[in-house]
């Protein structure tokens, strides 16, 4: 293994690291040599309750394998709690080099039944939580001339899904946050990237399976284990990934892909300007073939994971 792919000497904070994808990331980062802050509130998939047990179990495993790790039970939606994740890393290990924004909850509802609370709490954890932790880490990254942000977005936002307006909006907000961090902090040797994961977890277990098509989709998801996501995260946290920033990667079992960014695909000019009438009669018909149709993740990836 290349030394540049290792994480020796690095201090990595991972949110939502008590279960699922976050757990696998924490374990792999520790095995790659990192000292790890295992953050997890221990709430349910919908954000209810607290339980330090899952995070403590992950730390126990890391220590039993000869690694170094500590538990942080803060809520990322609380700015002071989010800051404590970074503060605990510095207090325990003397530095912070990487942040993985993985924590999240689900409040899936079809839009006309979605409450303001459903909307706000999902955005608070995913989007505001990612801002809060990133804001706390950024000064350290800037001052030391090194830092790695890895954020979790979703194809529910990048592509689309039913009943997830809150989750999709939050995940697209994270995409925008990551892109802005990449632009603002490139001069300081800091990278920021997103991952859209495909993996079976507590959150994906909440996917409705009322039709044969949905049942087939769920069975596909069960074939994609959370440990398949961790290597991409560890790679992006490493010294060797210094030239990779502002990107979004998808990980689907043994398949990894990079997403394009929105860019204009067709343009029309009218020297005298446009009116509502000419837009309807000329522009929209001419641009019809360039418009992207509505789709869900399952429409783009209808095949079994490889």
Give the CA-trace dihedral at 282, 286, 292, 295, to 10 degrees: 70
Assess contact for 232 and 251: CB atoms under 8 A: yes
Assess contact for 73 and 42: CB atoms under 8 A: yes
Assess contact for 130 and 136: CB atoms under 8 A: no
How far the first Cα of the chain sits from its last, in Å, is 24
Assess contact for 77 and 132: CB atoms under 8 A: yes
CA distance 19 to 27: 11
* Whether 303 is catalytic: no
CA 292 from centre of chain:
24
Catalytic pick among 167, 175, 198, 301: 167
| Catalytic site positions | 167
């Amino acid at each position: 293994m290349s030394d540049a792919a290792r994480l020796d000497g690095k201090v990595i904070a991972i949110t939502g690291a008590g279960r699922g994808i976050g757990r696998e990331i924490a374990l792999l980062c520790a095995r790659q040599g990192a000292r790890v802050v295992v953050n997890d509130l221990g709430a349910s998939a919908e954000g209810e309750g607290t339980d330090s047990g899952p995070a403590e179990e992950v730390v126990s495993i890391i220590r039993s394998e000869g690694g170094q790790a500590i538990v942080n039970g803060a809520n990322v939606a609380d700015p002071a709690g989010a800051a404590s994740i970074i503060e605990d890393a510095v207090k325990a290990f003397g530095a912070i080099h990487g942040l993985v924004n993985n924590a999240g909850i689900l409040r899936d509802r079809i839009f006309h039944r979605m409450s303001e609370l459903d909307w706000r709490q999902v955005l608070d954890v995913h989007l505001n939580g990612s801002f809060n932790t990133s804001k706390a880490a950024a000064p350290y990254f800037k001052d030391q001339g090194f830092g790695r942000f890895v954020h979790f977005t979703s194809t529910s936002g990048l592509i689309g899904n039913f009943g997830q307006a809150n989750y999709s909006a939050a995940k697209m907000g994270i995409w925008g946050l990551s892109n802005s961090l990449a632009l603002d902090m490139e001069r300081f040797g800091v990278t920021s990237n997103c991952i859209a994961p495909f993996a079976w977890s507590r959150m994906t277990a909440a996917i409705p399976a009322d039709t044969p098509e949905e049942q087939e989709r769920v069975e596909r998801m069960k074939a994609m284990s959370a440990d398949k996501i961790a290597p991409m995260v560890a790679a992006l946290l490493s010294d060797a990934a210094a030239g990779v920033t502002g990107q979004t990667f998808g990980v689907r079992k043994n398949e990894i892909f990079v997403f394009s960014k929105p860019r204009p695909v067709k343009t029309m000019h009218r020297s005298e300007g446009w009116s509502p009438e000419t837009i309807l009669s000329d522009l929209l018909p001419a641009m019809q073939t360039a418009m992207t149709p509505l789709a869900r993740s399952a429409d783009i990836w209808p095949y079994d994971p490889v």
